Structure 1
Amino acid sequence: MRVRELDLADLDAAWDLGRLAFGNTSERAASTRIVVPGMTRWGAFDDAGRLVGKAVDLHHDQWWSGRAVPAADVAGVAVAPEARGRGVARAMLIALLRGAHVRGAAVSALYPTVAAPYRACGWEAAGVLRTVNLATSALPRHRPAAHLSVRAATPADLPAVTDLYERVARHRNGMLTRRGELFDFFAADGGLPGDGLTLVEADGELVGYATWQRGRGYGADSVLTVDEALATTAEAARELAGVLASWASVAPTVRLCPLDGDAVSTYLPLESAREHERDLWMHRPVDVARAVSARGWPVHARGVVDFHLSDPLAEWNTGTWRLAVADGAAELTRIGGEADLRLHVRGFALLYAGAARARSVAQAGLLHTTGVAPDALDLLGAGGPAQLLDYF
């Protein structure tokens, strides 16, 4: 088996492999026939030169406490049925990690169809993207605020929408920046997303938006799918909730992905939500030193801790490190000797993403200690849990 980057001549075979693996019946997108900037496609070939596996490295950036961290987000992993169980996926993921490390990526996320192969390669479950159904009639109704204006967007409004998303996302952890050559490529047509994009403005400034898909029919099973609803003020969030509520007579169900603790979620009756779908996502460091130094850290977090890290697939991560956090920044420095805390890369992923505390990581067997309490490594998770709002 040989693993290499795919070229144009390989893309038809890659499309067929993905269609077979994921049951895709939709029309083939033009982007699957050309080189796409900000995307590295990897393939595994058998001795006869046939493509038996593929994986894609998406050159994203992720927000981590106010700073953009370069990421290698993984998508489209597929292996031909005859080649499964022979180490194809592992070989591709090793090549993808090495390539991502060379180009400067620090972290990685992916949505698995099965978690075990990715766990074996150092990724660990860090969060869930939830899609829920709400009764449209249960959404709060109110008289529209006089100082706010609500209107349909035009393509000229898209930069302002991107800016508002950034104001919501940049101080969280894990969310995509939605900037860079990959996003520029797919936004080049300048078209509006979905069936509608509703804006809420205050004195000409965008303070909230919702993108939505109308769906089919107007009977009891009609669903309004809200791709995203974000706001930067409580008044704008209430206005958006009222606009969604106005669909009650023709779309009894609103379907959306709530963002934990944001302005819009505080106006939704989430206690009555019914889960429609849940997509587990996994996290992994590509380069631990970059992952620590590139992100923002809470200004109140301060401390120093030594630990040994084991990363079987990325030898550049393995070794004894000193983590020092102070004044909203951190650094990971190699040191000599051993350490009382011995951490597996999957445990690092859990701590960094704020998905678990050190004692839980130790109970999972991903952190071992020699006579000391593991709590000092909670410093690695300062800043709260990570969350994704994009599926890839």
Structure 2
Amino acid sequence: MTTDLRALRPAEWEPWFRQLELAFGGVPEHPQERELWKALTECERSIGVWDGDVCVGTAGAFTFRLSVPGGALVPTAGVTMVSVASTHRRRGILTSMMRRQLDDVFAWGEPLAVLTASEPAIYGRFGYGIATRQLRAEIDTDRVRLSVPEGTDDVALRLAPPEEASAACEAVYARLVPGRPGMLARRPGWERLPLLDPPEERAGGSALQCVLAERDGEVVGFALYSTKPEWGPAGPKGTVRLRHMGALDPAAYAAVWRFLCGMDLMSAVQVGNRPVDDPWQHLVSDVRRCDLREVDGLHVRLVDLPAALEARTYRAPVDVVLEVDDVFCPWNTGRWRLSGDPKGATCSRTDDAADLALSVRELGAAYLGGVSLASLAGAGLVREARQGALAEASLAFGSAVAPWLPHGF
């Protein structure tokens, strides 16, 4: 088989995207979504594999900046729209695209590549580790009550059309990004993503709605949501579906949650993606009535290992030699001395004896501070060569708040 792997040409976007749709079940995206993804696609950072005139493989890389421990926003490739035609599986197409893509990311000078996976088992062999998790829940608001902090009653709430409120919501979001690893600084155009609301995808629910939380005329919180009215023999049992929210302080945060959980005719709040340490879990009267679940979120890959490790800070002083194995990006393979603390870090090659040995996949999993190196060692994925090094590094790599990716891409 002879195929042609090349950068995507703008005129090829339609057949390229149609291959992606076919690979994900063949149902075309709604025109509203399709138009947005076309506008956001960076053709010069996307690749296609062609068998004659037929596109048989796709992959893209958005230009992102990712928040890391310490608050820095690190240039990052957001790997996206990866597919291989069912007629061309097991021919090395995915591997060839991943190879080309990581070479490109390294050449672009971006230390990290990240993705969300339709199937989590696929990307570990290319060096991606699961670095964040998403909390899902369904809060039974007929039985659960909220205890709110002092000052909550001082926050005013008002409903606003989502598009008119978008700028205020984005301003709140932007202020939150540096404070939680894993969040993406949204570039122009990405503010449209939370507003996507095709009528055909509402599944019986309302149009997208927005509530703003204000104090002294300043927007300090928001929520984007929809409602699904429903009635049973005992009366109303509707559902609030939370799409996206943010708040700048505990009182504003509690005011938004009290609003969501207190709507008339609603009996539940569905939460699709929140941080695993989301504070509402400490406000509810009965967490067992909240049906908590976790799923994988952001998969992280260190492309330029020393640049990535130097880009973040460390929760406690650390001086450790890491012996890293990276088959797919061999420039990362070897021994690296990492010296860091809450103010910064240095990372350079060394011939000193290793303190810890691990693959780049495990380093990616631990990078944002949500996965413990000690936990990975318990699974046999990190080996301690110097006694005490594992505890030292595990503490240093940790984050005060759980890393979290608020939305897909």
| TM-score range normalised by the length of the shorter chain | 0.7 to 0.9
Query: Per-residue displacement from partner, 1:130-163 (whole Å, max 9, x unpaired)?
Result: 3322223345479996532211235564333223
2:59 aligns with one of 55, 59, 66: 55
Contact kept, 8 Å, 2:355 with 2:389, in 1: the verdict is no
Q: Output the amino acid matched with 2:251.
A: E
Closer/same/farther in 2, CA of residues 323 and 170 from structure 1, 3 Å limit: same
| Per-residue Cα deviation, 1:194-219 (whole angstroms, up to 9, x for no partner) | 62211111111222211112346566
Structure 2 counterpart of 1:203, from 209, 216, 222: 216
Range 165-174 or range 218-227, more displaced: 218-227
CA contact (8 A) 2:132 2:297 kept: yes
Q: Is the 8 A contact 1:231 1:263 kept in 2?
A: no
Secondary structure of the residue aligned to 1:316 is helix
Cα distance change, pair 182–74 in 1 and its aligned pair in 2 (3 A): farther
Tell me, yes or no, if the aligned pair for 2:63 and 2:78 is still in contact at 8 Å: yes
Aligned mates of 1:260, 1:276 — CA distance in 2: 9
Q: Residue 270 of structure 2 corresponds to which residue in structure 1?
A: 255
Cα distance, 1:35–1:169 mapped onto 2, change above 3 Å? closer
Corresponding position of 2:24: 22
Q: TM-score, normalised by structure 2?
A: 0.82
SS of structure 1 residue aligned to 2:98: helix
Q: Output aligned runs, 1:209-220, within 5 Å.
A: 209-215=222-228
Is the 2:356–2:386 contact (alpha carbons within 8 Å) kept by the matching residues of 1?
A: no
2:126 to 118, 121, 142: 121
Q: What's the counterpart of residue 203 of structure 2?
A: none
TM-score (normalised: structure 1): 0.85
AA matched with 1:150? L
Alignment map for 1:237-276 (pairs within 5 Å): 237-249=253-265, 251-256=266-271, 257-268=273-284, 270-275=287-292
The percent of aligned pairs where both chains have the same amino acid is 24
> Structure 2 CA distance, aligned partners of 1:344 and 1:209?
41
Pairing 1:285–2:290 present: no
- Provide structure 1 residue ranges, at least 5 long, that are not aligned to the other structure: none
Measure how far apart 1:325 and its partner are. Answer: 0.3
SS at match of 1:354: coil
Q: Please identify, of 155-164 and 73-82, the stretch whose mean Cα deviation from structure 2 is larger.
A: 155-164
CA distance in 2, matches of 1:329, 1:14: 42
Work out whether residues 297 and 329 of structure 1, in 8 Å CA contact, stay in contact via their aligned partners in 2.
yes
Letter of the 1:227 partner, please give it.
R
Work out whether residues 209 and 231 of structure 1, in 8 Å CA contact, stay in contact via their aligned partners in 2: yes
Q: 1:95 to 1:204 in 2, by over 3 A?
A: same
What per-residue deviation string (whole Å, max 9, x for no partner) do you get for residues 295-343 of structure 1?
Answer: 2433xx2121112212111122222211010342112112236535332
Candidates 372, 378, 397, aligned match of 1:357:
372
2:182 is paired with a residue whose SS is strand
Q: Deviations over 1:243-277 (max 9, x none)?
A: 2133241x332212333444545434543112578
Q: 1:216–1:222: 8 Å Cα contact kept in structure 2?
A: yes
Q: 1:258 to 1:383 in 2, by over 3 A?
A: closer
Inter-CA distance 184–356: structure 2 relative to 1 (3 Å threshold):
closer
Report the Cα offset of residue 292 of structure 1.
1.6
| 1:120 positional shift | 0.8
Whether the aligned pair in 2 keeps the contact of 1:152 and 1:199 (CA below 8 Å) is yes
Q: Distance in 1 between matches of 2:8 and 2:42?
A: 13
Change (3 A) 1:141 1:102: same
Measured in 2, the distance between the counterparts of 1:330 and 1:245 equals: 43
Matched residues, number: 384
Distance 1:129 1:43 in 2: 30
Q: Which structure 2 residues correspond to residues 1-392 of structure 1 after superposition, within 5 A?
A: 1-23=3-25, 24-28=27-31, 29-33=34-38, 36-37=41-42, 40-46=45-51, 48-64=52-68, 65-138=70-143, 140=145, 147-153=154-160, 155=163, 157-178=165-186, 180-181=187-188, 183=190, 195-215=208-228, 222-249=238-265, 251-256=266-271, 257-268=273-284, 270-275=287-292, 278-298=295-315, 301-336=316-351, 339-370=354-385, 372=387, 374-375=389-390, 376-378=392-394, 381-384=397-400, 385-392=402-409
- State the Cα distance separating 1:235 from its structure 2 match: 2.3
C-alpha distance in 2 between matches for 1:20 and 1:136: 40
